[in-house]
A = this chain, B = another copy of it.
Amino acid sequence: MIIAVDAMGGDLAPKEPIEGALLANRALGVDIALVGEPSALQTELARHGPTPSGIEIVAAAEWIGMDEVPVQAVRQKKQASINVAMHAMKQGDVSAVVSAGNTGAVMASALLNLGRVKGVERPAIGAMAPYTEKGILVLDVGANADCKPSYLEQFAYMGAVYMETVFGIREPRVGLLNIGEEETKGNELSQEVYARLKRSRLNFVGNVEPDRVHFGPVDVLVSDGFTGNVAVKVTEGVADFIFDELRSAISSSLRYKVAALLLKPALLAMRGKMDYGEYGGAPLLGVDGVVIVAHGKADAQAVKNAVALAQRAANSGMLDAMRGALQSPGTKNGEAGTVETSPSLDETRV
């Protein structure tokens, strides 16, 4: 299996993606296509000694910066590393793409080069909230700020297929992020989505209130991209705030410093549990390929984790299962599923 790594993507490119690719090649026995500007890649690779046979350079003359306007950049820079990587997947030359680059550009490039799985109106970005042993997939966490009910119903199917095939969770419990438990709670969107999920074939367990998410009552948590992004970012912000406060409290006295030394292993373990990056990457679901988005600040270890996730997803049959589930999601009574519409790339906010 070959996995394409966008060597030009991310704040720390090409250094960390390349080092991460080398780590992944060594640890996971997976071949890597490093996509990027050849001379920059060769210079960086040379720093690590002889390049292993499982690492190949795929030339891309351009790249897209973190601040560029996604759709425009993807369209104008045909030879951007992310476009070349996606094209390689479309051709079947690689089994998955990993990028720590501009998320909007990854999404736009996937849409342009791979297209959507049939039955999917809008792809979504899923984030693994690693609270419980197996984690919770929250989606969408930012690809779609304005959503129709049908999008969220499709997110639910996409998330369930992902958790079932990639993580082996049978009949994943699907919940809807909402501001009350009862069916009638929430905004118009969530009330309509509730009704749809209730009559779907999914293992829908109802609304999940935002203060319960971290106690893991579900495997898949569905949300519009605006609210999902807020939930993920508030989680990060609160965790940062608490650990910042703890750090400054600790440094204020010797007594606290001693206590902190004693508590250190427990604190580190806890910090890990709050880390959305722990799982290595966020799957881009609903595009017709396996795409893992790593954090823009991903270091070599995080890139390696993202490659491991990509490998796992590519091996899992996730994409075929997704094609089957979304084409005719249907209902409990066997009625026909949602009808596909075909938005242009411009309509998709990335």
Is A250 interfacial (CB 8 A cutoff)? yes
**What is the bound-complex CA distance between A255 and B264, given in angstroms?**
11
Interface stretch of the complex, out of A20-28, A80-88, A225-233, A301-309:
A225-233
Distance between A63 CB and nearest chain B CB, rounded to angstroms:
22
Is A336 interfacial (CB 8 A cutoff)? no
**What is the bound-complex CA distance between A142 and B187, given in angstroms?**
10
Question: Quick one: which of B146, B213, B226 contacts A234, CB cutoff 8 A?
Answer: B213
Q: Known contacts being A262-B255, A263-B259, is A210 close to B187, with CB within 8 Å? A: no
Is A195 interfacial (CB 8 A cutoff)? no
Is A246 interfacial (CB 8 A cutoff)? yes
Contact A249 B226 (CB under 8 A): no
Distance between A152 CB and nearest chain B CB, rounded to angstroms:
14
In the complex, per-residue mask of A236-266: 1 if CB is within 8 Å of any chain B CB, else 0: 1111111001100110100110111111001
Chain B minimum-CB-distance residue to A239: B238
**What is the bound-complex CA distance between A215 and B263, given in angstroms?**
25
Chain B minimum-CB-distance residue to A244: B215
Residues of B within 8 A of A188 (CB): 145-146
Q: Known contacts being A259-B263, A260-B263, A263-B256, is A215 close to B186, with CB within 8 Å? A: no
Copies of this chain in its oligomeric complex: 2
Is A339 interfacial (CB 8 A cutoff)? no
Interface size counted on chain A using CB atoms at 8 A: 53
Contact B233 A215 (CB under 8 A): no
Chain B minimum-CB-distance residue to A241: B214
Q: Known contacts being A249-B269, A256-B262, is A240 close to B227, with CB within 8 Å? A: no
14 cross-chain CB contacts under 8 A: A145-B188, A145-B190, A209-B233, A210-B229, A210-B232, A213-B237, A214-B237, A231-B234, A238-B238, A242-B242, A242-B270, A245-B270, A259-B261, A260-B263
Chain A interface residues toward B at CB < 8 A: 131, 142, 145-146, 177, 179, 186-188, 190, 209-215, 224-227, 229-242, 245-246, 249-250, 252, 255-256, 258-263, 266, 269-270, 273-274
5 A-B pairs closest in CB distance: A211-B237, A259-B262, A210-B233, A249-B266, A145-B187
Contacts A234-B235, A249-B266 supplied; 5 other A-B pairs, CB < 8 Å: A210-B230, A210-B234, A214-B240, A215-B241, A238-B239
